[in-house]
Amino acid sequence: MSETIQIKTLTPLWTGDIDGKCSRIKETGIIGSLRWWYEALMRAGEHDVCEGGCNNEDGKETCLVCKLFGCTGQKKTFGLRVSGEFKSSEFIIYHYPGRGCRDSKWWLNEGLLSKSNSKFELWNNFPNDDSKELIKSLIGFLSENAGIGARTQFGYGIIDSNIIDYDLSLLKRWVGEIKHTESIFFLKIRFEISERTMNKIFRDTRDWKVCRSNGYLPTSPYFRYLLRKSLRDDEDITKEQRHVLFGFLNLRSSPVIATNSYLKISHMYELENSVWEMRIYGQIPEEGYIKYGDNKRTINLSENVHDWIEKLGRDDFWDNITTNGMNIVNFDFKWLEEVLE
């Protein structure tokens, strides 16, 4: 028997096509992000999780992630289908405010938005199994705290949790006691933003008012820039640690060097008139690495980066980050163990 989860986007969803666009929401993209998070949660609970997928062709025991999501020789235990009415968001050319160079831009590709009549349909692939309830709990957890799909580090993937009826205790039971404490964090910040501040931030940014009419503001690049700068100004954090935390791209190298961001920064989305919310969340591994060609350089991220992350939940930190007319209404900073307690 299938079960339907109604979804409403707060920022655009993204699951890429082969040509680098997002013409529709692909189930594989959603399932991939769910698997990534489930794996991260199970590792935080100190479960044995494979690296790169188990192989069940020879009948060996598979890890808990592969039992749910499948691996070589074993089908995933649930099915997922996305349907509904989606429309394309605008292609945004974002200009950084206050930077003199007119070439300081960020391109935000079109994702997909849905305000109603869209859904995730879940079902079990095997009799006497109820994996769909666990997946529903995981989707509810992410809708409440993080994001779904790809490019969440660039603001995409926030969906409304208020219309999802889920049981978090089921996910808690599978994760168990958190052993790797202070490794995954979630921060929500609510702002009141004046019209004058909006016009100042987005003065040179194309089509931002269309985003606003769809209930979000394309602020992820703006806050990524501000937070990178705060890391750059922190003498206790090295350039390599900053690159691991926020990602690193060197187009002049051969081959091109690129690493993913451990920090995800959402766009702002509207809760009510003039009150907006954004999310900053992510995972801080004990070590990260930057890849140079075929070589990997390991970077320790433990103490100083944890201290900087905890600063994110303090008023005095954001007093130096925000601009006049962007007033903070509320903070909500939690480590994973607090969310699941």
**If you write DSSP's letter for every residue of 44-111 in order, what string do you get?**
HTT----SS--B-TT-PPPPHHHHHH-BBTB--SEEEEEES--EEPPPEEEEPTT-S-TT-EEEE---
CATH code of the domain in which 75 resides: 3.30.70.1900
Structure tokens at 39: 């794996």
The arithmetic mean of pLDDT across residues 3-31, rounded, is: 90
Structure tokens at 268: 């702002």
pLDDT value for 327:
87
Whether pLDDT at 292 is above 70: no
**Amino acid identity for residue 80 in this structure:** L
- CA dist 190 and 5 (Å) reads 26
Which residues touch 58 (CB under 8 Å, ≥6 apart)? 73
Which residues touch 162 (CB under 8 Å, ≥6 apart)? none
* Mean model confidence pLDDT for the chain: 87
**pLDDT-based confidence at 74, cuts 50/70/90?**
confident
The arithmetic mean of pLDDT across residues 272-276, rounded, is: 84
Question: Are 30 and 80 contacting, i.e. CB atoms less than 8 angstroms apart?
Answer: yes
Domain count, the chain: 1
Question: Are 44 and 183 contacting, i.e. CB atoms less than 8 angstroms apart?
Answer: yes
The arithmetic mean of pLDDT across residues 30-55, rounded, is: 89
Question: Are 276 and 326 contacting, i.e. CB atoms less than 8 angstroms apart?
Answer: no
Question: Are 265 and 283 contacting, i.e. CB atoms less than 8 angstroms apart?
Answer: no
Whether pLDDT at 288 is above 60: yes
Q: What are 202-258's pLDDT values in tens digits? A: 888 888 999 999 999 999 988 998 898 898 888 888 888 888 888 877 666 656 566
Closest to 264 (Cα-Cα) out of 183, 116, 155: 155
Q: What are 91-135's pLDDT values in tens digits? A: 888 877 666 555 667 888 899 999 888 999 999 998 888 899 999
Residue 34: domain span: 3-339
